[in-house]
Amino acid sequence: MGSLTQQLTVLVARSFEACGLDPKFGEVVVSQRPELGQFQCNGALPAARIARKSPRDVAQAVVDALSERAWFADVSLAGPGFVNLTLTDEALAAFLRQTASDERLGCDPADEPEVVLIDFGGPNVAKAMHVGHLRSSIIGDCLQRLFRFAGHRVVSDVHLGDWGTQMGMLICEMRRRRPDLPYFDAGFAGPYPAEPPVTIDDLEQMYPAVSARCKEDDVEADAARQATVDLQEGRPGYRALWQHFVDVSLAGLRRDFGRLGVTFDLWLGESHAHSRIAALIERLKAQGFAARSEGAWIVPLGAGEGEGKELPPLLLVKSDGAVLYGTTDLATLEERVQDVGARRVLYVVDQRQALHFQQVFRAARLTGVAGETALEHIAFGTVNGPDGKPFKTRTGGVMRLQDLIGLAVEQVARRMEEAGVAQGYSEEERRDIAHKVGLAAVKFADLSNHRLSNYIFDLDKFTRFEGKTGPYLQYAAVRIQSILRKAEERGLAPGELLAPSATAERDLMLRMGQLPDAVGAALAERAPNFLCEHLYELSQAWSRFYQQCHILSEPDEARRDSWLALAALCLRQIQLVLHLLGIEVPERM
């Protein structure tokens, strides 16, 4: 079905084609000068250069050839050849009626659905999730929702950091604290204990301690590296202890992601691809892609045919035999292509990792690991404090994600108290509302910025119930829900959607016609801020309509029922976009 601009583009493109011009010049956009028209087409200017004609003459010919003139209340020319279009109110209402009958609200599914694997979240075993995991988790979750809505088969993978040097560090720290455990006895025949020797709190305390020592003591660092190699080579005691670390960490991570409202299809770690690494490396050696360099094995990348700048080589195997992230990423990609059948893989990772992904992607294409699969690094900026530096706690530490969410929920609870929101509700319902609104505040604040931008974390601003915030948008949905409930209690129901009778009504309908454009732009750019912008503009348009058009007190029954239909359709749009953003709407506030 498409948006208003998409349907108008089809009509205007036919006019260009009827004039012997390329229909691509018929693109229609929302007008930048609404006093001249609701929509505009700027294609006459570039078309005229190719046709070697006057732009205004081309524009006039296109207008003369425009079919379906019943759509338009006005078609005019401006400037050197801009075509301005204004719909009739009936055409606008007819479009909205068509939208209301479509369960997808006019958003067409993908023409060629793909298997899309989205790698996001990326927490490390034994480390608490912190503010640095926020953007990957929120952006990645929004993208998996968007791609699913578009009709693609999405597989999301948390891709745990469970196989690097930090595992060797933890093994050494455990041996230092509990040398009596059987995991360190090379002669122990098993079975190893079923119960883990540590809690998540133990792990979160152990890692910073051993990490600090390894930075200061080369002997400690060498021991951790050797433990990592022994683990990766399959030492039984280390593997058993490592499994405990993973199991304990996963329980905490599932809880943290659950608080954030984020889910995954796969909870695999870097270790999952380890069994493929040896064969992959041997193949790369045999095919001449891998080369020896100072005792290590590398994949030289060079400039790459049509790839742009020269890149440093990808390190496959260190001189001590340990593999690195790049090796694991190649093996993981091979598995995703061969076993999952992914035809597009998105890595939602901090933009500071750009060089790493440039190396991995080029190596994957050079060696054939990627096959025909498209690879994308969905980079993002940082969450900063008021000083413009990465966000920290008041004591200068990295803030844990659960603490950040807790702060948002507490701030929302205070605002609810001050504003008299949810008064008279049970304590349980108030807590549930505060949690949903707190998450909305954090998520919308993040997603409303373009993902490549850094932003300042300002909890006071994010949790307001007015302005461009998540709570404001939730409140708009709750207000519509309340109107529809009251209407139902009075035995009223939405009727046929009539042509608009007021400016605010017309503006709301026009804004609602732009939903497919926002969804399409968010998908094409992998940028949820397009959804946020549409949702905010839609909520503002609703607010103006609500102030001018008093739905339940309208004496004209047909008009009242039409407004109820418009309210119901607006609610569906708001709920859809909030769902794509990963934001829940309370039943009431």
Distance of CA 312 to the CA centre of its chain: 30
How many Å apart are CA 151 and CA 560, to the nearest integer? 36
Taking residues 213-242, what's their average pLDDT? 93
If asked whether residues 60 and 191 sit together in one domain, one would say: no
pTM: 0.93
Instruction: Report whether pLDDT(8) > 60.
Output: yes
Pairing between β-strand 115-119 and β-strand 72-78 as defined by DSSP bridges? unpaired
* Residue 94 domain-assigned (yes or no): no
Shared domain check, 420 and 548: yes
Q: What is the CATH number of the domain that holds 525?
A: 1.10.730.10
Instruction: Assess whether pLDDT exceeds 80 at residue 90.
Output: yes
Q: State both tokens at 384.
A: 């900063």
DSSP result, 35-85 = TT-SEEE-THHHHHHHHTS-HHHHHHHHHHH---GGGEEEEEEETTTEEEE
pLDDT at 288: 95
Q: Residue 39 to residues 5, 35, 108: CA-CA distances in angstroms?
A: 8, 10, 21
Task: Specify whether 71 is located in the same domain as 175.
Answer: no
Q: Which of 225, 260, 295 is the last residue of a domain?
A: 260
551 found inside a domain: yes
- Evaluate if residue 412 carries a pLDDT over 70: yes
Domain containing residue 245? 165-260
Whether residue 196 is contained in a domain is answered as: yes
pLDDT for the residue 305? 57
The end-to-end CA distance of the chain, in Å, is: 35
Name the residue type at position 470: G
75, 182: one domain: no
561 and 420 assigned to the same domain: yes
User: Which residues does 358 contact at the CB level (< 8 Å), separation at least 6?
Assistant: 311, 377
Helix ranges (DSSP H) in 110-235: 134-149, 165-177, 200-216, 218-232
pLDDT at 395: 63
Among the candidates 34, 60, 87, a domain finishes at 87
Average the pLDDT over 173-184 and give the result.
96
Contact 514, 534 (CB under 8 A): yes
Query: What average pLDDT does this structure show over 482-510?
Result: 97
Please indicate, yes or no, whether residues 171 and 70 belong to a single structural domain of this protein: no
Whether residues 83 and 177 share a domain: the answer is no
Domain presence at residue 22? yes
Is 201 found in the same domain as 61? no
Domain boundary among 260, 281, 309: 260
Residue 534 lies in a domain: yes
Residues 413 and 542 in one domain: yes
CATH code for the domain of 81:
3.30.1360.70
Same domain, 184 and 67: no
Phi and psi of 460, rounded to 5°? -60, -40
- Asked if residue 228 and residue 79 are part of one domain, the reply reads no
Report pLDDT for 486: 97
Mean pLDDT over the full length of the chain: 93
Helix (H) / strand (E) element for 574: namely: helix 557-580
Tell whether 202 is covered by a domain.
yes
Number of domains in the chain: 3
Q: CA 89 to CA 82: how far, in whole Å?
A: 22
- For residue 415, being part of any structural domain is answered with yes
- pLDDT over 70 for what percent of the chain? 98
d(CA 161, CA 136): 14
